[in-house]
Amino acid sequence: MLLLALGDPGMEPARPALVIRIRIPDGGGAVDWTVHPAPQLLFRDVLDVISQVLPDATTTAFEYEDEDGDRITVRSDEEMKAMLSYYYTTVMEQQGNGQLIVPLQIYPRACKPPGKRNIHGLKVNTRAGSANNSSVAITDSLPSHSLKKSSAELKKILANGQMNEQDIRYRDILGHGNGGTVYKANHVPSGKILAVKVIPLDITLELQKQIMSELEILYKCDSSYIIGFYGAFFVENRISLCTEFMDGGSLDVYRKIPEHVLGRIAVAVVKGLTYLWSLKILHRDVKPSNMLVNTRGQVKLCDFGVSTQLVNSIAKTYVGTNAYMAPERISGEQYGIHSDVWSLGISFMELALGRFPYPQIQKNQGSLMPLQLLQCIVDEESPVLPVGEFSEPFVHFITQCMRKQPKERPAPEELMGHLFIVQYNDGNAEVVSMWVCRTLEERRLQQQGSQ
């Protein structure tokens, strides 16, 4: 096999050369690429090589698998560093156990599949800091050395009709809300850690079937800003929704969030909402408790209203009005994307202030409350962030999202183009990761001190 080597061939690398295995979409084999010195490898270098391996595709990012088999997207040098750090930790464990060192496998995210491929030894020349007079070879039938099931394989296992309560081992209660209880649980056949939301619903068998049918679209959602969905099942009068577990939990349990962290969280939330809107799905329940984070710095949306019947059944069973609803929704008027935008604005205002923006609304137990208590949202002027405490772009972003007239709120493309979002759209997950890890550690130490 011909391998692509980076750097001066006459120099001895300080550590073993890094072998990156570029997986070609649609079962097209793989490319093994040898890189040294690996610490100098940049995100752009990888994209340059991928573009030569897949000349007919436009690739702007790639993925790798973490220890749980989940796909992690790489879009920047910072995320490259995180990937390499994770991989070298894995290599050290493999060496310590006397195991074969597995190449770092990456999966290009191409906008369209590649055209014709030379599977008998394609050679590509690289320039501008990547490599000189080197080549890569595509192998058509490399054995798979992956130690973990891929996210796609796991999803197939979990969603092929075998998902049932007998295979679930419930562990801890993660929280309550929106009519249900969320558990941390194990899926015994796969060993996967899940979040399982159990909602009691007294509905007919026909409605149960309709809900399950409407939930089918969740299998098709493919965004790094949307929580992974593994399956659902009914047992008697309870529906259980099985999703990806996020070890940082939901944002409603965090205190006031610094703006530089909140900005990067906002980017992820806006991207997640934009993705849903592109599928003609309204979230309908945007609020901090439906924004999840993990210690890798990922931010994902959950509990969006893909099933109209499920939303309606919960609304009939659990009486109350959502405090994050837009004024027009509280008044019973038409609901649309602009209503999600209001909920986005009031949620991030709360996360910035560390309290609900309307002082007269005591939101102590969840977000559901009698309609009359929310009348102030309809009648009064929208609250505004204090300019002295927050940057002008952030204040403007919140103000625009919370316009009383729905049509005056930003459209999806205007949200993504807003200065506040553009400013923090740098792919720096490390900022969120460090904040989550630090906050969780502080919480753990406080719990120890109170015991």
- Binding-site entries: 197
Q: For residue 409, give every residue at least 6 positions away whose Cβ sits within 8 Å of its Cβ, in sequence order, or none.
A: 338, 341, 342, 345, 400, 401, 402, 403
Say which of 32, 285, 303, 340 is annotated catalytic. 285
66 is catalytic: no
71-77 LR contacts (CB < 8 Å, sep 24+): 71/107, 71/150, 71/151, 71/224, 72/296, 72/298, 73/109, 73/224, 74/43, 74/46, 74/106, 75/43, 75/427, 76/43, 76/426, 76/427, 76/428, 77/42, 77/43
CB 164 within 8 A of CB 188: no
Strand 71-74 to 291-293 pairing: unpaired
Summarize the annotated binding site for ATP as residue ranges.
197
- Residues recognised as catalytic: 285
